[in-house]
Amino acid sequence: MKEQKANFFYNGLISLVRAVTSLAFNKVYTYFKREDKVLSTPYPTVIFANHIMEEDIIALAHVYHKVSPKIKFGFAMRQDIVEPDFLIKEFSPKGFLKFILWVIDKSKIIRILLLYIGGVGIKRPFRDDARKLAKSGELRDLVESQFGEIAKKGNEGRNLFLFPEGKFSGDGYLESIRRGIFLLNSKVQNLNCSFINLTYDFLAKPKMDLHISFGENFPLFNFKEEKEVSEFAKQKLGESFVLTSGNFFSYSVFKKIENLNLNELKSKLTTILKKIEINNIMFISEKLIINFPEEFDLFFKEILNKKFLEIKEDMIQKTEKLSKTEFRTVNLLRKNNPYFYHKNQLRYFEKNLDSIFDDFLTN
């Protein structure tokens, strides 16, 4: 099947979405392994990414801006988004806002645009009725069927996009990689894959920063087993998290920083950051490098105000609030201990980071 090249209207529509959704972020930063700063997506390619929250969908408009060549996409989306009265059911608005969302629902503009861009509505068995479906033996058939619909887009000439975890990651890192990429590989001939990582800094002010790291293109036909594909995807996503102000400073507060004052800690972290940069361990936020003193001051002012740390006799001390990392559900972690959540983003790099941090913080 010949690829469906994106036309002027398709590109323009996604550019409009990109411009509007930029308002959700302080700034969107991009990082590349390739010198030409594009994500190679020859047809047929499936791009996969980690899945954090609903806003990941709007982040895709910023991803599309960097792909080459420009080919129309097919992607999975919540089935209920294209069902009647979605906005009213989702947000339960009141007053004038309810009227505005009612008008949008009735216009069917969201359904029309999403289906045109390439959305494929799928049910969410992992959220909605997984136990019931698994007990009846229907879950596997449903998953197979739904990925068949996504694969159909690929066989019609579109590239594909997938969140292989199948659900949001609640702890800041990655959930288990499900079998989606493997299924698509069995249904679309000569399928390639590319990957991106979405690293959010929710501690940035006044709004979150989005850091998108772009990977490379690989042929999938080399992988014969489902486990191989899952391990490959998890490695590529894990090693692509970006070092940001939020996760770097969060990582530091779970190390041995007691009995240091803030100036001593700032000096040591400056040296640690330089060491990480020299060792080329990972992508590093330009904001962290360029504005290190200001970012340090903002972070520690905030964490002290929220009582996760305290200063006693001019020395840093941890509080019980910082040590609490388990909550009723993992989805409460980002709200109740955002510092542990951001630390978790760097789990793939723990061995290297622990070695560097321990060397400089204990000397």
**Can you give the pTM of this predicted structure?**
0.91
Residue at which a domain ends, from 238, 262, 277: 238
Residue at which a domain ends, from 204, 238, 272: 238
Residue at which a domain ends, from 198, 222, 238: 238
Give whole-number Cα distances, 163 to 53, 277, 319, in Å: 11, 30, 37
Same domain for 132 and 253, yes or no, is: no
CB atoms within 10 A of CB 216: 13
Do the domain assignments include residue 302? yes
What does the pLDDT look like over 11-53, one tens digit per residue? 999 999 899 889 899 999 999 988 889 999 999 999 999 999 9
pLDDT of 241 > 80? The answer is yes
What does the pLDDT look like over 303-355, one tens digit per residue? 999 999 999 999 999 999 999 998 888 789 999 999 999 999 999 999 999 99
Residue 237 and residue 50 in contact, taking contact as beta carbons nearer than 8 Å: yes
Do the domain assignments include residue 121? yes
Most confident stretch, 90-104, 122-136, 195-209: 195-209
pLDDT of 252 > 90? The answer is yes
Nearest to 77 by CA among 18, 162, 138, 159: 162
Residue 327 is predicted with a pLDDT of 86
Domain of 177 in residue numbering reads as 8-238
Do the domain assignments include residue 3? no
- Mean pLDDT calculated for residue range 156-178: 91
Same domain for 218 and 71, yes or no, is: yes
Residue 235 is predicted with a pLDDT of 95
Same domain for 141 and 113, yes or no, is: yes
Cα 179 to its chain centre, rounded Å, is 19
Helix (H, G, I), strand (E, B) or coil at 336: helix
Question: Distance between CA 66 and CA 53 in Å, rounded?
Answer: 21
Do the domain assignments include residue 1? no
Q: How many CA atoms are closer than 13 Å to the CA of 351, on its beta-carbon side?
A: 2
pLDDT of 209 > 50? The answer is yes
pLDDT of 273 > 80? The answer is yes
Rounded (5°) CA angle 237-243-249: 135
At residue 345, what is the residue type?
Answer: Q
Mean pLDDT of the chain: 90
What does the pLDDT look like over 60-85, one tens digit per residue? 999 999 999 999 999 988 888 888 88
Residue 138 is predicted with a pLDDT of 56
- At residue 148 the predicted structure's pLDDT band, cuts being 50, 70 and 90, is confident
Same domain for 219 and 283, yes or no, is: no
Rounded (5°) CA angle 138-142-145: 140
pLDDT of 131 > 70? The answer is no
Helix (H, G, I), strand (E, B) or coil at 261: coil
Q: Considering the chain, what percentage of its residues have pLDDT values greater than 90?
A: 66
Same domain for 197 and 51, yes or no, is: yes
Q: Which CATH number does the domain housing residue 214 bear?
A: 3.40.1130
